């Protein structure tokens, strides 16, 4: 399976069925941490649930409509990052991500995102990447802000999360802006 080495500690690996048990264990250990913003955790009760998730990821990948990778820290799965809903006609995609509780705050998500953004802009022909995060999810919002994404607006009542509506902040990055940013850094 495809693996990209980022540095001595970090690598990215295309998600596969062989990852389901470890992914489930990570999400199960991180249940309280993830539940605040990701309601899917309440529907993930067994490794079989995670296998079904992996199957969906692989189906999207086979149909050229998504790319889901595991973030590996020293060989262990630390989180997941993915492109979903790739709009080939308009050359745009959106990204989602999560990290296990014991791995947060180490900059891994930012480093992994940089690699995937380079890949999207250079190899996939993407012109725009969008990230949406709950307005109050400051940790998730910090990733696009660190990477120079432009805050483009707020979608009011974008999601119903545990019987309360949450607003989403929309961030965007264009290929030309990403390239300029890379030249100056």
Task: Summarize pLDDT for 19-34 with one digit per residue, the tens.
Answer: 999 999 999 999 988 8
CA neighbor of 131 nearest in space, from 115, 153, 108, 103 = 153
Instruction: Give the residue-averaged pLDDT of 147-153.
Output: 97
Domains and CATH numbers, the chain: 3-184 (3.40.630.30)
What pLDDT digit, counting tens, does each position of 32-80 carry?
888 888 888 888 999 999 999 999 999 999 999 999 999 999 999 999 9
The pTM for the full model equals 0.91
What does the pLDDT read at residue 1? 54
The enclosing H or E element of 158 equals strand 150-161
- Residues belonging to the chain: 185
């Amino acid at each position: 399976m495809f693996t990209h080495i980022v540095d001595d500690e970090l690598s990215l690996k295309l998600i596969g069925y062989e990852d389901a048990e470890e992914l489930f264990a990570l999400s199960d250990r991180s249940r309280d941490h993830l539940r605040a913003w990701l309601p899917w955790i309440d529907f993930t009760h067994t490794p079989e649930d995670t296998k079904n998730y992996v199957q969906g990821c692989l189906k999207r990948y086979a149909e050229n409509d998504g790319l889901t990778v595991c973030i590996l820290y020293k060989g262990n799965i630390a989180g997941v990052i993915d492109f979903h809903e790739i709009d080939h006609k308009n050359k745009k995609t959106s990204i989602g991500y999560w990290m296990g509780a014991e791995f947060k705050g180490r900059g891994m998500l930012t480093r992994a995102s940089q690699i995937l953004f380079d890949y999207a802009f250079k190899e996939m022909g993407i012109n725009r990447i969008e990230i949406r995060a709950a307005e109050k999810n400051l940790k998730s919002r910090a990733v696009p802000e660190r990477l120079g994404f432009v805050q483009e607006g707020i979608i009011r009542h974008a999601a119903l999360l545990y019987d309360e509506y949450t607003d989403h902040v929309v961030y965007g990055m264009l290929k030309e802006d990403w390239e300029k940013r890379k030249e100056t850094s």
